[in-house]
Amino acid sequence: MATDPRSPSEIDPERGSDDWDELIGRLSSEVAALVAAADELIRRTDPAVVRVVWPHQRTVGYGVGPKKMSEHYAYLAVHPRHVNLGCNYGAHLDDGGLLEGTGQNMRKTTVRTADDLADPRLVPLLHRAREERLRALGRI
């Protein structure tokens, strides 16, 4: 029997909080606080955002829908001492020098302290990332 490649929270949005709790429960208190602060920033910036949590991959995706490859515009990748906040299509955005990376699409910024999330370039970047996805999908 083939397994469904989607995360449990993508299949059943009601499970999203369980996946979130599982992810947070695996982290040090310092990194958990960074993840929670980054999540709060993204959700405050886009109250309609769809969040999908993959606890085993230690990642969280954010988008205009649940589809990772087409609808997500931002992500958190959790590491032992920091969190990468990235844009799935960041290579195509004016990021004001905030993002790093050399791949075809994805770019990220490293969050080591809560102060990193106060960078004034971050909220406008998240707005541009969301708008880019909506335009690419023909929704605006």
Question: Domain limits of the chain?
Answer: 8-136
pLDDT (tens digit per residue) in 42-100: 999 999 999 999 999 999 999 999 999 999 999 999 999 999 999 999 999 999 999 99
3-class secondary-structure state, position 76: strand
| Model pLDDT, residue 16 | 60
**Buried/exposed 31-53: b ≥16 CB within 10 Å, e otherwise:** bbebbebbbebbeebbeebbbbb
pTM greater than 0.75: yes
Fold of 8-136: Aspartate Aminotransferase, domain 1 (3.90.1150)
Task: Look at residue 137 and tell me whether its pLDDT is greater than 50.
Answer: yes
3-class secondary-structure state, position 12: coil
Q: In this structure, are residues 22 and 35 in contact, taking their beta carbons and an 8 Å threshold?
A: no
Q: In this structure, are residues 95 and 108 in contact, taking their beta carbons and an 8 Å threshold?
A: no
**How many CA atoms, within 13 angstroms, populate the side-chain half-sphere of residue 50?**
17
Rounded average pLDDT over 9-28: 77
Using a pLDDT cut of 90, give the percent of the chain over it: 88
Q: In this structure, are residues 88 and 79 in contact, taking their beta carbons and an 8 Å threshold?
A: no
